[in-house]
Each structure stands twice: as C-alpha cells, then as structure tokens.
Amino acid sequence: MRLETFYRQPGYFARKVTEIQGLLAERKRNTTEQFEKDVLTFVINKLTELKSMIYFSYFIEEAKVAANVNNVIINDVDKIIRVGDEIKALFELKVRRRQQNGYIRVSKSEWHTLRTLSETLDVPVFYLVRVPGCYKLVKLNFWRTEHRNNGYHQLRDYYVKIPLDEGLTLSDVEVVTALADIIQEVQE
C-alpha cells in the first residue's frame, strides 16, 4: 500500500474514513467505560487528521503541476525532541513484523529528508523500530541505497537498507533508559 494511491482520490478516501469514524462513534455511544470512550475519541480525531493529511498531499500534487515543478517531496518526522528553544534529536518510529536479513527498508526520500535535517540542524536522527520481541534503536548513518521492485504493486522505488545490528536491541524498560541517555547527552 502506498499513500500516493490515496492522494489521487482524496474525496473517496475521506468518505471511506468517515464511514469508519461512524462505526467508531457508534461503538463510543454504546460503551459505558470512560477510558474506552477516550480512546475512541482519540482515534476518531486522528482519523480526521489523516483525512487532512491526504487532502494536503493532494493539494501539493496539484500545485506541483501548476508550478511545473517535479522534484517536490513530502515527508514527515515522527518525533522532534526539543529542550528549551533547541531541537536536540529527531526520531522516526517504525514497526516491522519481521526483519529482512537483519535489515529494514525505508524509502530513500524519507531517509534523505531526515539526513538533510540532521546535517542542517546538526542534530542526531534515530530510528526506533519495533520488531517482534524487542525494539531496535539505530542512529541514522549513510547507508547504501537500493533500487527495488515492489512485488506487491509492481512499482519501482528507491530504498535504504537500515542494518539493525548497528543499533541497540532493547526491551521496553531499556528503551526508557536509552532515551534518558539521549536526553542527558543532548543537554550537556
């Protein structure tokens, strides 16, 4: 699945998401547990943000055509750590059901954007990857780029292979400790 598929049909995407929101709202009306209501409200609101994100991407795609500019890339950063007025670290969060020979693949455009931000802002970028049974914390590096066919959609794309063995293998508790170490490092 590629988000670009949704950018091309933002209205249809929004209608489908609204249907899902309706189902969640119905469940919210039928529950008596306050925590579940709060969770459902949170998810419904996140889905509204997702619809806005898809429309924004559609508008950018249309603006590219209007401006006759082809090399516009849209990326986001999952987490930005700021201490006071200084940006100290960037995090990209990933979940993988399995590792591919000790690597995970990420899109080259995402990796390039993160690398550019890291160099421009002089801040470290970390991938925090949830894999079965643990987390992998890997600091962004200059990994090799590959051009691969995506077997599911027959699409060609560029990927960067992130070697997970270059990072730390952590339990939930160890993630907290590692993040505390990162925050302490950046404060010094």
Q: Tell me the mean pLDDT in the region 10-32.
A: 97
Domain boundary among 19, 36, 67: 67
Does residue 163 contact residue 102 with C-beta atoms inside 8 Å? Answer: yes
- pLDDT tens digits for range 113-153: 999 999 999 999 999 999 999 999 999 876 655 555 554 44
Q: What is the mean pLDDT of the chain?
A: 87
pTM, 2 dp:
0.81
pLDDT at 153: 45
- The answer to whether residue 119 sits within a structural domain is yes
Q: Is residue 167's pLDDT more than 80? A: yes
pLDDT at 68: 96
Q: Is residue 188's pLDDT more than 80? A: no
pLDDT at 152: 45
- The answer to whether residue 57 sits within a structural domain is yes
Quote the domain boundaries for residue 36.
3-67
* Number of domains present in the structure of the chain: 2
- The answer to whether residue 74 sits within a structural domain is no
Q: Which of 93, 164, 171, 168 is nearest to 125 (CA)?
A: 93
Domain boundary among 14, 33, 67: 67
- pLDDT tens digits for range 77-119: 999 998 888 888 999 999 988 767 888 888 888 888 999 999 9
85 shares a domain with 58: no
DSSP string, the chain: --HHHHHT-HHHHHHHHHHHHHHHHHHHHH---HHHHHHHHHHHHHHHHHHHHHHHHHHHHHHHHHHT---------SEEEEETTEEEEEEEEEE-SS-BTTEEEEEHHHHHHHHHHHHHHT--EEEEEEETTEEEEEE---PPEEEEEETTTTEEEEEEEEEGGGSEEE-HHHHHHHHHHHHHHHH-
pLDDT at 105: 84
